[in-house]
Amino acid sequence: MPSIDQFIESFLTAVDFQEAVDVTPDTELKSLPEWDSLAALGVIVMFDVDYGKTITGDDLKNCSTIADIYKLLG
């Protein structure tokens, strides 16, 4: 399993933020300007391609922070 810092780097790439954002494990997803259904789809694809794990939109709906998404790798 990747470290949380490695995961955040993958997350930032998957979401493709237009401007630099400061993201920590405790960052609230709703505070991210680009967090929408397209960003969620990017994260779902990232889990599949990078980590070989399948997650759903419902899994992401239950997450409120980056750390919550990271825990889905477990």
pLDDT digits (tens, 9 = 90+) for 3-61: 999 999 999 999 988 888 899 999 999 999 899 999 999 999 999 999 999 999 999 99
- pLDDT for residue 17: 85
- pLDDT for residue 63: 98
Q: For residue 50, what are the contacts with CB-CB under 8 A and spacing of at least 6?
A: 10
- pLDDT for residue 40: 97
Q: Report which DSSP code applies to 28.
A: B
- pLDDT for residue 74: 92
- pLDDT for residue 69: 99
Query: 3-class DSSP state for residue 49?
Result: helix
- pLDDT for residue 41: 97
pTM of the model: 0.93
Q: Which residue has the tokens 């992401």?
A: 60
Query: 3-class DSSP state for residue 65?
Result: strand
In the numeric block, which tokens belong to residue 45? 């694809």
Contact 63, 5 (CB under 8 A): no
Residue extents of the structural domains in the chain: 4-16+27-71
In the numeric block, which tokens belong to residue 58? 């419902």
